[in-house]
């Protein structure tokens, strides 16, 4: 189990739910969070502040990208924490 700390809350993240939500990330960022395409960043190894901040900024369009904004829009804060925990679990498994 991973505990995710954000600026507003502390919660036990659900890696299984994160894996389910992260399936949509695989097309660009690689199935295991390691991108095969240089223009897409690896998600494994990202610091929480960076990954969580970027997803939360894509949701309302604070940060705009034609691919990421629509992908992030339906995600809740809990979804984002779970996705991050899933990618952390992949790094920990290595």
Decide: 29 and 40 in contact? Cβ < 8 Å: yes
Question: Please, where are the H alpha helices in the chain?
Answer: 15-22, 26-29, 48-58, 68-72, 77-92
H or E stretch covering 11: strand 10-13
pLDDT (0 to 100) of residue 46:
86
pLDDT (0 to 100) of residue 4:
52
Residues with Cβ within 8 Å of 42's Cβ and at least 6 positions away in sequence, in order, are 29, 30, 33, 34, 35
Q: pTM value?
A: 0.83
Mapped onto helix, strand or coil, the DSSP state of residue 17 is: helix
Q: What is the dihedral of CA 36, 80, 60, 57, to 10 degrees?
A: -60
Q: What is the mean pLDDT of each run of 10 residues along the chain (94 residues)?
A: 48 90 94 93 89 94 95 96 93 74
């Amino acid at each position: 189990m991973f505990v995710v700390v954000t600026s507003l809350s502390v919660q036990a993240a659900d890696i299984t739910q994160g894996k389910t939500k992260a399936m949509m990330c695989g097309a660009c960022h690689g199935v295991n969070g390691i991108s095969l395409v240089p223009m897409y960043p690896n998600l494994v190894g990202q610091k929480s502040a960076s990954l969580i901040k970027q997803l939360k900024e894509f949701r309302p369009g604070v940060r705009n990208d034609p691919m990421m904004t629509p992908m992030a829009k339906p995600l809740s804060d809990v979804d984002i924490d779970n996705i991050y925990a899933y990618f952390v679990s992949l790094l920990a498994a290595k």
